[in-house]
Amino acid sequence: MTIGNAAFEEVIRPIPGLVADGNLDTAQHHFVKISGDYKVAIAASDEMPIGVLCNKPLSGCAATIAGVGSTVKLVLGDTVVAGDKLCPDSSSGGTAVPATTGDSTIAVAVIGGAVGDTIPAIIVGGLTVI
Amino acid sequence: MTVGLAAFEEVIHPIPGLVAGGDMNTDAYQYHFVKISADEAIALAGNNEMPIGVLCNKPLSGGGATVAGPASTIKLKAGGSISAGNQLCPKSDGSGEAVASTTGDPSIAVALVGGADHDLITAYIVGGLTLHA
């Protein structure tokens, strides 16, 4: 994957000390939420993501979560164009879809893509109380 | 305090150049939400006031204030019962303590762990400022 003239390289600003709430070994590059004390799980529609999962942890293992200021890979759940604000999809899979008014969005797409693509996205923060 | 697999360690991304808008050298200020109250000055954030971050030290009036901004993982004083995953905003009494947000509240942080009133919890500052049409 390339961005501009340079090869894409993730910049991960991790949130320390979080563990997987269940097996998340198939959820790499998906939105996650806080699901319990210091635990993360896949974020569903209308749930505020805390960041993006960057590794493949089994239940109880350390989860590498990219937080605000990170540029990460993110799996798409719908067609996205560059510049779209992104939120979790409605199928509870943690994939990224374009946000609409009132959605809980924390990231912006750097490039466009289709369902199933992995694109670079910037986690800019946010918190829309819904 | 432990966080997940590792000992808890604050990760503070400070907002530079801020000073205390009054004496803030007690536990009633440290680890509380603060707002911009005047040019480069901070004070406790109150009801429906947008916090700029969380005060991490105990400055005297005019002294340098260490304010944790976005992407910080910090301690935060709870102003009520909080559950892990709650979005957090300042309490309505002006104490700067954190409470669970409801629709329309100026929320900038997410609780990484639950706690009771007056507990010091761990929170992550995600940011904020959502302007709707």
Name every chain A residue with its beta carbon within 8 A of the beta carbon of B3: 16-18, 38
**Global pTM exceeds 0.90:** no
Residues A100 and A118 grouped into a single domain: yes
Size of the A and B interface in Cβ pairs below 8 Å: 102
Is residue B131 over pLDDT 50? Answer: no
**A56 shares a domain with A93:** no
Q: Which of A33, A48, A68 sits opposite B71 (nearest CB)?
A: A68
Read off the pLDDT of residues B2-48 as tens digits, 9 standing for 90 and up: 555 555 678 999 999 999 999 999 999 999 999 989 989 999 999 88
Q: Which of A41, A66, A91 is the last residue of a domain?
A: A66
Of A21, A37, A66, the residue that ends a domain is A66
Structural domain total, chain A: 2
Which residue range(s) make up the domain with A59? 10-66
Contact B69, A69 (CB under 8 A): no
Same domain, A114 and A81: yes
| Domain presence at residue A130 | no
Residues A61 and A87 in one domain: no
With a CB cutoff of 8 Å and minimum separation 6, the contacts of B3 are A16, A17, A18, A38, B9, B112, B113, B122
Distance from CA of A108 to the nearest CA of B (A): 14
Band (pLDDT 50/70/90 cuts) for residue A68 is: very high
Interface pTM, i.e. ipTM: 0.80
Instruction: State whether B112 and A13 contact (CB < 8 Å).
Output: no
Per residue in A39-66, pLDDT (tens digit) is 999 998 888 899 999 999 999 999 999 9
**Are A126 and B126 in contact (CB < 8 Å)?**
yes
Mean pLDDT over the full length of chain A: 89
pLDDT band at B132 (very low <50, low <70, confident <90, very high): very low
Separation CA B35–CA A116 (nearest Å): 42
